[in-house]
Chain A
Amino acid sequence: MAKSKSRRPPRIGDAPVFRNTMIAVVLTLVALVIIAPLAVIGYEAFSRGIAYFGKTIANSDTRHAILMTALTALIAVPINTAFGVAAAWAITKFDFPGRRLLLIVIEIPFSVSPIVAGVAYLFVYGLQGLFGETLQSADIKILFALPGIVLASMFVTAPFVARELIPLMQAQGRDLEEAATSLGASGWRTFFFVTLPNIKWALLYGVILCNSRVMGEFGAVSVVSGNIRGQTNTLPLHIELLYHDYNAVGAFAAASILAALAVVTLIAKVALERRGAGRVRRPSLAGTAPDISETTP
């Protein structure tokens, strides 16, 4: 240890004074910018004690909002996962014209503001939208109801699973799958016994990030949900409602659930990264993986 240290000349910025100042400044800023917001959520949520916190969470509107959020995730995340796996399989296992374009279109939701997404959905399913009148005459409610919330959530999270799988499956190539099928395995068998074991951590990583975003989505959902208390309010929308009702404790109690989810997501993320997930996405040295390394939530 000491030997290898002494052999290497100090790199720039390694002077103790500079090093310690940098660490101190950055740690202070991290405490102020990242930890303080997290701390204030817990502080405000429990500012009137645990009993009051429990009472707030047990409020029927809050319970309903939790249920709506869970239900939305339960529908949107599996569909999204299926899409992500299908997209990754199609794009990495076959060559067809338009692959690059397809990759770009899948990535678009990352660049679009959630508000724009919500407004866009309004012009499809709203009364003034493309299918509005047809839907109304058929008495099908999509906007201001669960289907609208699920659709908007699926828009904002469309790239999450695909983006984790595509670079990885691209890097792994097609040899294993081709060997399996040439030995007579069916497509499903090949996927479940050959491909899936190689991508399971990346898949889980994508699913966890997707779930976290679905449960926390605010902008897009606030446009399409109609904010009907006790009916179409998801947890993030309910937080806004309580906050504007001057019910800060209630808002922060509800927020603490989502903050806890964020912390759990971060822990799971670190655990999965140790297993190699989330790594291949970075611009690869070989330059063969599609460069869909845009955002890294």
Chain B
Amino acid sequence: MARRILPGLSLTLGITLMYVAIIVVLPLGALIFKAASLGPEDYWRIVSSERATASYRVTILCALAATLFNLVFGMALAWVIVRYRFPGRRFIDALVDLPFALPTAVAGIALTTLFASNGWFGAPLAAIGIKVAYTPLGIIIAMAFTSLPFIVRTVQPVLEELDPALEEAGQTLGASDLEIFLRVILPQLAPALLAGLSLSFARSLGEFGAIIFIAGNQPFDTEITALLAFIRLEEYDYPASAAIASVMLIAAFTMLAITNLLQARALRYTVKG
């Protein structure tokens, strides 16, 4: 009886449901409807075509490599920001979010220019025989750039709240720093780290803007799945575009479920008994 003394439920819930229905559910429903109307045979033919599977391979492998890079760099970045005090620390902390703030198209042309064979990084790399722009390496760099903040921002708060007593216990028991890191600190970071990894990987799977400039976009070689969906659209092959987009949607939902699971675990870890 006393539960609902506040006004505005019907108004705010009405607005919320209407917005979610029109903006989020309707288009995704339309996409699923379109893909489903293809029929299982046609659908399978499109999503398992050689060009499509090649694009999945490129996307997944590059996303894995980018996530691996971010695992190392993101961890190091979070560690340095949390554990050390040095001039410019706050500046670095703020800069971590730049990849999220910078529009993907802007990041795309900037990275391409840096890594082109006459660019600041591309020229010296070309001199030692490494080609980045228009190769899978370029895709990896674009993916790593756009998803960098995830791991830093998931690990950072956990690292801040680590109990020094546990490390001290390790020290008094005679463990080396490396042993303490691997067996005391890392297990505490693991849930947050896993959640950050899955966020980073999911973002890399769906990234488009930053990649298409640097990728070269050669079918079978440097063509990501998002681009293939876009190309089918430009060719007016709408069923194929719907089918490929639906595969990406399924992948996104799978990653969302995994992330939520990992995050629920991470949350359980953070709760102090």
Instruction: Give residues in A with beta carbon < 8 Å to B.
Output: 8-9, 11-15, 18-19, 22-23, 25-27, 29-30, 32-38, 40-41, 44, 82-83, 85-87, 89-91, 93-96, 102, 104-109, 111-117, 119-124, 126, 128-130, 151, 154-155, 158, 174, 177-178, 181-182, 186-187, 190-191, 212, 215-219, 222-223, 236-237, 239-240, 243, 248, 251-252, 255, 258-259, 262-263, 265-267, 269-270, 282-283, 285, 287, 291, 293-297
Any chain A CB within 8 A of the CB of B117?
Answer: no
CB-based contact A291/B100 at 8 Å: no
Q: How far is the CB of B69 from chain A (nearest CB, A)?
A: 9
CB-based contact A22/B104 at 8 Å: no
Chain A residues within 8 Å of B238, by CB: 122-123, 126, 128
Interface size on B, residues (CB 8 A): 108
- What is the predominant secondary structure among interface residues of chain B facing chain A? helix
Instruction: Give residues in B with beta carbon < 8 Å to A.
Output: 3-9, 11-13, 15-17, 19-20, 23-28, 30-31, 33-34, 73, 76-77, 79-80, 83-84, 86, 88, 90, 92, 94-107, 109-111, 113-114, 119-121, 144-145, 148-150, 153-154, 157, 164, 167-168, 170-171, 177, 180-181, 185, 199, 202-203, 205-209, 213, 226-227, 229-230, 233, 238, 241-242, 245, 248-249, 252-253, 255-256, 259-260, 263-264, 266-267, 270-272
Q: How far is the CB of A212 from chain B (nearest CB, A)?
A: 6
Chain B residues within 8 Å of A239, by CB: 105-106, 109
- The CB with the most chain B CB atoms within 10 A, among A12, A109, A267, is that of A12
Number of A-B residue pairs, CB cutoff 8 Å, is 317
CB-based contact B255/A22 at 8 Å: no
- The CB with the most chain A CB atoms within 10 A, among B97, B106, B180, is that of B106
Closest A residue by C-beta to B239: A128
**Cα–Cα distance between A217 and B255 once the two chains are bound (Å):** 22
**Cα–Cα distance between A109 and B80 once the two chains are bound (Å):** 32
Q: How far is the CB of B16 from chain A (nearest CB, A)?
A: 4
Chain A residues within 8 Å of B148, by CB: 33-34
CB-based contact B256/A248 at 8 Å: no
Instruction: Please name 14 further chain A to chain B contacts, defined as beta carbons within 8 Å, in addition to the given A19-B84, A123-B27, sorted by A numbering.
Output: A83-B15, A94-B13, A96-B13, A104-B260, A158-B23, A177-B6, A187-B7, A216-B102, A236-B104, A252-B113, A255-B109, A266-B98, A282-B157, A283-B266
Closest B residue by C-beta to A174: B6
**Cα–Cα distance between A123 and B242 once the two chains are bound (Å):** 8
**Cα–Cα distance between A123 and B246 once the two chains are bound (Å):** 12
